[in-house]
Amino acid sequence: MTTPPEPDPNWSFSPDHDIRCPECDTHLHGLNWVLNDDETETVGMSLVPCGHELPTVQWELKFSGRDSGERRYGQTIRIPAFIRKVQ
């Protein structure tokens, strides 16, 4: 199921990271969090610009890369990626 994306996503990705939709391989600009009816829990991620919705029971947004130590100029700190959860 796809939903029309909002113009300014809740979460933006750097173009340097080349994050892509795991469903259609579209280059992503960001995502919008999808909340349950009570708006108390995150239940999905709506990807911008393709609009694919990844449910959080099946997918998570993980970050890899350096997380401690000395920071160097121009060094990428954390790289986001969508990971399918094992069920």
H/E run at residue 65: none
Number of domains in the chain: 1
Q: Is residue 17 part of a domain?
A: yes
Cβ atoms of residues 87 and 58 within 8 Å: yes
> What's the pLDDT tens digit per position in 12-70?
988 888 899 999 999 999 999 999 999 999 999 999 999 999 999 999 999 876 555 55
Exposure class string for 39-64: b at 16+ Cβ within 10 A, else e: eeeeebbbbbebbbbbeeeebebeee
Q: Is residue 54 part of a domain?
A: yes
Q: pLDDT confidence of 79, banded at 50, 70, 90?
A: confident
Q: Is residue 5 part of a domain?
A: no
Domain that holds residue 17: 11-84
How much is the pTM?
0.75
For residue 24, give Cα distances in angstroms to 3, 32, 48, 50, 59. Answer: 14, 17, 12, 8, 15
